[in-house]
Structure 1
Amino acid sequence: MRSDAQPAVVGGGAPARRFEPRLILQHVAVVIAAVLFATPLVYALFSALKPNDQIFAVPPTLIGSEVRWENFLEVFRYGPFFTYIANSFLVSVAGTAVVLVVSTTAGYAFGRLQWRGREVVFGLFLVTLMVPQEVLVVPMFQLMQWLGWVNTPQALILPFAFTAFGTFLMRQFFRGIPFELEEAARVDGAGPLRTFLQIILPLARSAVAVLTVFTFIGFWNSYLWPLIVVNDYSYLGTLPIGLATFSGQFGTRWDLQMAASIIAMIPTALIVILLQKHLVKGIATAGIAGR
């Protein structure tokens, strides 16, 4: 005999919740992971408030003998840190803008338009993801020399503005949008460009947010390429290069380096917080979209 048992009702209407050990274990695992990821940030913050000679004291302490908030001001007196921040903002914002334009248009062409050789070209495009950056720096630097772009802002922005990752991400998301919307727009007389700008792109806000965050953080944290292509760090140095200046032949100012690292993390943390809702939705849908 089949018995359809109803959940118990408590206090006039709401069904009682079951005790689910698996759900509790999942929450515990999330809390443990959050603590592990937050520990280096907490250590960096408290180290930034210590005197330099107490950071590696034995036995280690979380709080030093004095709390030195002035370390955050000393960062800007130690070197041209305002210049490093301004250059990083310029490179990151401009590079992100170029990547968004290129990736969304290329993703639309690969995902929505029909043209001969599309899949072959897209496959070749994806092959570039397998080539590490370290292999490309020498030919790219030679190209920058040939163009006369060494020690210029465009040398920091353009070489990594045409990547296959953004195109692949946008293509996958675009292919998940119903094709009937595009067909209806075509019936109403809209061309490919108008359809892309007024119908397809507004529906892809979440994917654009994901690409914006990943691209901005990538440009913001880039160290190897600016180190190679920039000659005058006081003029065109970026934040990662600025962080390295706290280490010299006469020692390392760990307290200032930690304080500068905290300052450098603020813009990326803010952009993630502001776009958090779109990030969750974009990551959840972009990977499973497509036909």
Structure 2
Amino acid sequence: MNRHRPTRYFARSQVTLVRAVWMVVAAILAAMTVFPLFWMVSIAFKTSSEAFSPNLVPAAPTWENFSYVLTGVPFLRYMFNSLFVSATVTIVALFFHSMAGYALARLRFPGREMIFLAIFSTLLVSLPVIIVPLFIIVKAMGMLNSYAGLIVPAIFNAFGIFLLRQYYLSLPREIEEAAVIDGAGYWRIYWSVILPLSRPILSALTILFFLANWNAFLWPLTIVSDPDLWVVQVGIANFKGQYSASWNYIMAASAIVAVPMLVLFVIFQRQIMDSIKTSGLK
């Protein structure tokens, strides 16, 4: 028995060493993630003369930057535009994407796999590649400088359809078969059975869709020239051009924009963790 003790002690030391290394790596990555946020917040509380000082902690924190951003420019209007566009796109996209994902996962019809491959292939095409023809189409439809021009092109997202299809393929068919025996049709099965089971994955997609549209910049910049329809990212870009040296105002605006995302994540963090465990996103 004594001959095995050094071996066991050595094995435990190796495990402890590996854990310590991973903890150090995790701490470094966490510091790299948190530092830019801390730097942004620290500058947001500095005066213009202190903005480029090496001290991260401001000597005398001030709320003047936030007050100016909220009252000196129509920033609340920009936030309303972003909130309205992001919420509308998220709700409409989840509704249509869930129906498309259910049809591609459960219904059998000719060309189903080809349709799915065609939708999935659009993930290889980025927005800058199609922005010119998309702009021409939107202009021909009379949707320039309108909420429709901001919302309609952003609804389609192949990633959401793909993710929901893969999630629905993992659901047991016995649940649907029991609903069919009870006399339920496709719509009743989708609405009363599939959607309640989709809450974890829909919560995760809510965060992803809302965040993507909240941070959208290129398409709103291209499609809208009316300042009353600017979203927050376009507003911050214009704010930067107008006050190129006032980084304290820019960081204050960025901090305000980050707050809704933090609140949304806190609300849906449990559903996001459940979706990661149940949908295979590891």
Could you tell me the TM-score, scaled by structure 1's length? Answer: 0.88
Cα gap change, 1:229/1:189 in structure 2, threshold over 3 Å: closer, same or farther? Answer: same
Instruction: Give the deviation of 1:149 after TM superposition.
Output: 0.6
**Contact 1:172 1:287 (8 Å CA) reproduced:** no
Q: Which residue number in structure 2 is paired with residue 162 of structure 1?
A: 156
> In the aligned structure 2, how far is the partner of 1:219 from the partner of 1:265?
13
State how many pairs are aligned.
271
Please tell me the residue identity of whatever aligns with 1:42: F
8 Å CA contact 1:207, 1:282 repeated in 2: yes
Cα distance in 1, alignment partners of residues 58 and 248 from structure 2:
11
1:191 aligned residue: 185
Cα deviation for residue 250 of structure 1 reads: 6.3
User: Are 1:64 and 2:54 counterparts?
Assistant: no
Q: Percent identity?
A: 37
Of residues 42, 47, 51 in structure 1, which corresponds to 2:38?
A: 42
- 1:251, distance to aligned residue in structure 2 (A): 3.3
Matched, 1:285 2:278: yes
| Distance in structure 2 (CA, Å) of the matches to 1:40 and 1:102 | 37
Pick closer, same or farther for the CA change 1:217–1:249 going to 2, 3 Å: closer
Relative to structure 1, the CA distance from residue 177 to residue 68 in structure 2 (aligned partners, 3 Å threshold; closer, same or farther) is same
1:281 partner amino acid: D
Tell me how far apart the structure 1 counterparts of residues 73 and 56 of structure 2 sit (CA, whole Å): 27
Distance, in Å, in 1 between the alignment partners of 2:219 and 2:141 is 16
Q: 1:174 is matched with which residue?
A: 168
Partner letter of residue 171 of structure 2? I
For residues 62 and 222 of structure 1, the distance between their equivalents in structure 2, rounded to whole angstroms, comes to 29
Counterpart among 9, 19, 25 of residue 21 in structure 2: 25
Contact 1:43 1:62 in 2 (8 A): yes
Match of 2:194 in 1: 200
Of stretches 242-251 and 270-279 in structure 1, the one that deviates more from structure 2 is 242-251
Q: Which has the higher helix share?
A: 2
> Which residue pairs with 2:4 in the alignment?
none
Q: Which 5+ residue runs of structure 2 have no aligned equivalent?
A: 1-11
Partner Cα distance (1:155, 1:72) in 2: 31
Normalising by structure 2, report the TM-score.
0.91
Quote the offset at 1:246 in angstroms. 2.1
Contact 1:246 1:252 in 2 (8 A): no
* From 262, 265, 269, the counterpart of 1:272: 265
What displacement does 1:26 show? 3.1
Once the two structures are superposed, residues 42-94 of structure 1 have per-residue CA deviations (whole angstroms, 9 ceiling, x without a partner) of 0000011111122223xx11123421122111112231001001000000000
In 1, Cα distance between equivalents of 2:136 and 2:270: 42
| Aligned Cα root-mean-square deviation (Å) | 1.9
Partner of 1:81: 75
Partner of 1:251: 244
Mark the runs of 5 or more structure 1 residues left unpaired by the alignment.
1-17
Q: Which amino acid aligns with 1:160?
A: A
- Residues 61-140 of structure 1 correspond to what in structure 2 (within 5 A)? 61-140=55-134
